[in-house]
A and B are shown apart, each in its own frame.
Chain A
């Protein structure tokens, strides 16, 4: 994205800026790193990530999650609501790797198919908050003044509620269910994206290339989407990764209290909730979905951290071995 920004249009004016020319480590520094390497920025980002073993491990876990999410139905040995009469609450065995639940359903199959639910809810919910939050943050940050006040105070209002409480309130209005849970989680995480985006935009909009672009007569919308957004993107990308973890966790929490995914569909949170009453009788009912949530959320967090390191200009300079003029 940044290449494109640099390549065409009036932003070219920002190119020649010298390293360390400004205290604010904005687009200028980042551009330099890339410029020297003559390698697309995303490639370099991936290379840097690949040097971090934790990030690689996390990525593998998430790759597995996506695979299982897409192929779960074919991978699972049994149907998610296939019930074995007389086979209730069986402990893990070669037939049922993760045991069976109180209905006589295969927990392994349900955990596999639960990945799809988590993935879908995570993607859609974060998609909602990403689009809404980024738009709000862009306009608030770029135009400032009363629009900034109006939008951000509204975001502050949403932000003032504890996330889960707010999601529950939204679900109380919309009614339970997976789709509504996605919307609720999307709404709850919108303010975070708005804030992150606005903060980033506030620094970007003062850059020379933006001023140049404005001076050369580009329209506001064009500047916002072609120049501001791409340069403000890195923190948003990091936030997206971390929010995926929160969204999956929120879905699990909402399903746990019965507001999210509805039975008999498999959701890790719902399975955990059902398994809770059986901890004394069948520990496997709660353990395996719990582990699944644990690993996926951990993976997103680790990847998010690693991405932050790589995308943060200061850190990046250290990682690439090129001082940023300090």
Chain B
């Protein structure tokens, strides 16, 4: 999957605004094989896990977590798979990191300053931090890491679009100079582990796809076919993790993961059949965490293809979809219907709902656009995602207004290729983990945006997006993005569907774990059940 992604990005050239986290849970493989090199006693009694004779402190144990996807690789700058980031979250650090509320907190940088013109940002780095290979963390590592992303046109190079230069003032000071004010800079360099700091020269010295040299609380262990184990790094700057190790198992089948949790084979999973969420809360021995997320699901129509080049035809589809029904079926209610991208709980949320389900209105718009009954529409979805469920509802919805939907399931790599080549009538997927409105709207809808695969073009919107990207006053910036959102949703560049909830479940008694809207999973402070 990853090589394909890189190829796609190359073809997009310098403007390749990496798809960041879109990569929804591509739980492609159904075989969730529990791996057998697991400590045997853990499977029987999760509480008693301690078979590391080298542990110099009291027994801390190994947490076993089941994730649905298999990481494609472990190079944080190159991968865009969520499964990879679930592991890397615990292995690498960024300069700043979002807390559970999405506010940026110090991480490898302890403090930062912005010049009055907003063009120079100075970051003071944490002292006494070492990488897993024992080397010291300095400003040179930051300069190297960021330049690697920019120079090698990595997935997230677009986040540095406004960066002029990154330099080391001294060993513990990094200065970033910008071509224009960039209020989203913290989100750009610390929003997720795709912007991780690696040691200078690491890309040439180790194979980052399979090895990791981070500064985080855990070290990457050896890769197995059915999972990977990360072990606590005792020299971690934040103090040693509360557990010795985390074993990630790849279990693609949600019912299998849930059974494993029920039988005590695993401690934690984010792979839960939506229909079981309701009943799980009452089960003894299991705790369920549900939190609104910052993800969104959407449909986009190819505006280079008739009749979808007409606003009316696109709006008809927006009116034709019964979002609540999609949510009820695909997520069993564990989602919030939304007609824009940004979820209700965010500061950037804008209440704008022009398209309530109305087949009559939809049909009128189609007539106005000259679209006949029986108009075919190929809807491309990624196989084995909840999108397949949602697509079946949409097929049924649009049949009512005379649009004949064919669901085209593709593996994520093919899906991305077809998206990049423009070979589709419509596509549906999700974006994950965005925090700043720039992430939500810019690359997807700006005329020259790297992810404007649907081909939306609106000069007014381009102006708004450019202005908003450089606006430093937060309220003024929000007003600009509100206007942008109305254009984007109103002219159905994307047809927004819903924001899914983050749903995770863990063994009763697992302490210190916090469920987060951005789906970052952090096991640093977790304690195992007794």
Contact = CB atoms under 8 A, between A and B. Distances in A.
B407 interface: yes
A25 to B, nearest CB: 48
Contacts of A82: 396
Interface string A266-282: 00000000001110110
A262 B30 CA distance: 16
A175 to B, nearest CB: 8
A104 B30 CA distance: 25
A257 interface: yes
Given A258-B384, A263-B407, A277-B255, A102 B393 contact: no
Interface in A80-126: 81-83, 85, 88, 102-104
Interface stretch (B149-157, B321-329, B452-460): B321-329
Interface in B371-413: 383-384, 388-389, 391-393, 395-396, 399, 407, 409
A263 B392 CA distance: 7
A257 B30 contact: yes
Contacts of A325: none
Contact of B392 (A176, A264, A278): A264
A102 B275 contact: yes
Contacts, number: 49
B422 interface: no
Contacts of A85: 322, 325
B251 to A, nearest CB: 14
Contacts of A83: 325, 329, 393, 396
A262 B409 contact: yes
A264 B395 contact: yes
Given A102-B275, A263-B388, A277 B254 contact: yes
B409 A176 contact: yes
B329 A81 contact: no
A277 B253 CA distance: 10
A171 B279 CA distance: 37
A281 B280 CA distance: 13
A221 B393 CA distance: 55
Contacts of B325: 83, 85
Given A102-B329, A263-B407, A81 B392 contact: yes
Contacts of A276: 255
Interface string B244-277: 0000000000110000000000000000010110
Contacts of A103: 329, 389, 392-393, 396
Interface in B263-305: 273, 275-276, 279
Given A88-B328, A262-B407, A263-B388, A81 B399 contact: yes
B407 A176 contact: no
B358 to A, nearest CB: 14
Nearest to B408: A262
Contacts of B273: 277
Contact of B30 (A176, A258, A278): A258
Nearest to B388: A263
Nearest to B273: A277
A277 B389 CA distance: 13
A102 B274 CA distance: 11
Nearest to A89: B275
Chain A CB within 10 A, most for which of B276, B384, B392: B392
Contacts of B329: 83, 88, 102-104
A278 B275 contact: yes
A31 to B, nearest CB: 53
A83 B392 CA distance: 9
Nearest to B30: A257
Nearest to A177: B409
A259 to B, nearest CB: 10
Contacts of A262: 407, 409
A83 B275 CA distance: 18
B395 A81 contact: yes
A242 B328 CA distance: 43
Interface string B313-331: 0000000001001001100
A263 B407 CA distance: 8
10 contacts: A83-B396, A88-B329, A102-B389, A103-B389, A176-B383, A264-B392, A277-B255, A277-B273, A278-B275, A281-B275
Interface of B: 30, 254-255, 273, 275-276, 279, 322, 325, 328-329, 383-384, 388-389, 391-393, 395-396, 399, 407, 409
Given A81-B396, A262-B407, A262-B409, 10 more contacts: A88-B328, A102-B389, A176-B383, A258-B384, A263-B392, A263-B407, A263-B409, A264-B407, A277-B273, A278-B275
Nearest 10 A/B pairs, CB to CB: A264-B392, A83-B396, A277-B273, A81-B396, A277-B255, A103-B329, A85-B325, A263-B392, A262-B409, A257-B30
